[in-house]
Structure 1
């Protein structure tokens, strides 16, 4: 039998104020169910309505991006699985972390985009969002790293952070952090 120290995991979750954690294949219905659980957790945590709405919106955006990317790349369930964590820090901010396997080139492009967004202030982010919103979108335009990430950056209290870890075979694990 596999030995897992669940108590240790629980203590780590409690010490890091983790409200929600998911790891595995992610579907549209699962995103919705976890989203409903997240709403309940935020309500139980007495989150301010605006903060709860932003945390939920960021969760939806990041998980849908993962799902769409996995579908577009035709990844298997295991290849397209997601890791999602929602926690609180000691300052009372919510942390939304999401990660998934990506092709290295794609991950590097997202990291570069996150770095560009991190250099913008709130006014510049709003202007970039409005500009992107007005751009025509063709049927063959790939989604990702556009309007949604701008929206996440606008909702974030601090610049978003991206990390790409090379896992071999031209792929990596991309992690994104938004602080709300």
Structure 2
């Protein structure tokens, strides 16, 4: 096995304005450690507290969703996440992806695309409607508000892709602009 081209990777990161990149199995403690590094970076950039909080919240929501999905689905490889935070055109992008069951991915893409067709008022109504829904006592995750909240905070419609990779699995990715 040859050594990776770290300089080439560094050049790519600089070209794409990538501030943070992680690829590997995601755990609760790792989410926290990377989150701390992200907070420190955003603080050093003197980003407004509200914007820094939105970027951090998007990172937390995406990574925790991957972790919860991996735990509940027991799908091999679902816990391996790719997370990228970048900055360009005055906008921060938080993107994350992982392996999912293709059927789960299609449902998620459909749900996210429905948010893209909503304006801010409709997203607010959807959030309030979801907030009022009775919560399943057996649910291991939250009340289902995270995606709607991210759509509300995103400065552009969230972008999602689903790439079929075989054996009824796909690679799902979601990107949020703040």
TMscore range, shorter length: over 0.9
Contact persistence 2:135–2:143 (CA under 8 A): no
| 2:155 paired residue number | 157
Q: 2:118 aligns with which of 117, 120, 141?
A: 120
Does residue 81 (structure 1) correspond to residue 74 (structure 2)? The answer is no
Q: Quote the Cα distance in structure 2 between the aligned partners of 1:134 and 1:161.
A: 27
What RMSD in Å do the two structures reach over aligned CA positions?
1.5
Q: Quote the Cα distance in structure 2 between the aligned partners of 1:172 and 1:144.
A: 24
Q: Quote the Cα distance in structure 1 between the aligned partners of 2:168 and 2:56.
A: 32
Question: Following TM superposition, by how much is the alpha carbon of 1:53 offset from its aligned partner in structure 2, in angstroms?
Answer: 0.3
| 1:52 paired residue number | 52
Does residue 71 (structure 1) correspond to residue 45 (structure 2)? The answer is no
Q: Quote the Cα distance in structure 1 between the aligned partners of 2:127 and 2:167.
A: 35
Structure 2, unmatched stretches of 5+, are: none
The 3 A distance-change label for structure 1 pair 137 and 145 is: closer
Question: Following TM superposition, by how much is the alpha carbon of 1:144 offset from its aligned partner in structure 2, in angstroms?
Answer: 7.6
Question: Following TM superposition, by how much is the alpha carbon of 1:48 offset from its aligned partner in structure 2, in angstroms?
Answer: 1.4
The 3 A distance-change label for structure 1 pair 145 and 110 is: farther
| 1:167 paired residue number | 165
Q: What TM-score does the superposition give when structure 1 sets the normalisation length? A: 0.94
Count of residue pairs the alignment pairs up? 178
